[in-house]
Amino acid sequence: MNTVALTFDDGPHPDSTPALLDALTRAGVRATFFVCGEQVLRHPELLLALHEAGMWLGNHSHTHPHLPGLDDQALRHEIQLPQQLLHEMTGNYPTLFRPPYCDTDTRVRDAAAALGLTEVLCTTDTRDWAGADAESIVRAAQDERPGGIVLMHDHGRRTTVEAVPHLLAAWAERGLRPGPVPPR
C-alpha cells in the first residue's frame, strides 16, 4: 500500500495529544510526532503514551524559536536538549528533526546532522496552525501523493483532531495510509 507521512508538530499537549492518539490507534495507523523539549518536560506522561503506542518521535527543538537567528551555542542547545530528554525517557535518540516554522539554513541542517538527525520539512502544510477549520485541513491534505509529508500540529486545536479521521478516510479511499517519513 502507498504511504504518506502524517506528522504533528509542537506537542505533546493535553488538549490534543490524547485525542490524536485515540484517533490514530482506532484507525490502526501510526504518525510522526515532532515534539518540543519544553512540552515534553511539562507533559512527560503524554510523550510516554505516544512512545508506548508506537508512534514515531522526532525532535522539534526545545523552545520552538526561529533557529537561523540563534548563535551557534544556542542553536546546538535547542537541538541537543530534546535529544537528551527523549533518550532518557524512551531509551532512543530521535533520528528526525523538523525545525520550527520549517525555518532552516545550512547552519541548522549542519547542527542537526552533527547530532545524527535528518532534517524533515513537508510537502503539504495544512495550515491548521493558522486556525483552518477541519474541512479546510482535510481539503489541503486529501490529495497528497505517495511519499508526501503532511504537516499538522499537536498544540491543542480541536479542528486538527476533528480532521484526522476524515483525512484518514479520504486517503483510504485512494489506497493511501500513513507511514514513516520517507528516507532521504
pLDDT tens string 114-153: 999 999 999 999 999 999 999 999 999 999 999 999 999 9
Instruction: Please report whether residue 61 resides in a domain.
Output: yes
- Whole domain around residue 31: which residue ranges? 2-178
CATH number, domain of 16, equals 3.20.20.370
Residue 118 lies in a domain: yes
Whether the per-residue pLDDT at 181 is higher than 90: the answer is yes
What domain count does the chain have?
Answer: 1
- The answer, yes or no, to whether residue 1 has pLDDT greater than 80, is no
pLDDT score of 6 more than 80: yes
Residue 71 lies in a domain: yes
pLDDT beyond 90 at 31 = yes
Structural domain contains residue 146? yes
Tell me if 53 is assigned to some domain.
Answer: yes
> Annotated catalytic residue: which of 9, 10, 125, 128?
9
Q: How far apart are CA 164 and CA 160, in angstroms?
A: 6
CB neighbours of residue 51 within 10 Å: 17
Active-site residue identified among 13, 60, 64, 153? 153
Determine, yes or no, domain membership for 183.
no
Helices and strands, counts by H and E, the chain: 7, 8
Residue 120 lies in a domain: yes
Confirm whether 153 is a catalytic residue.
yes
pLDDT score recorded for residue 69: 97
What mean pLDDT, rounded, does the chain reach? 97
Q: Does 184 reside within a domain?
A: no
Residues 91-106 have a mean pLDDT of 98
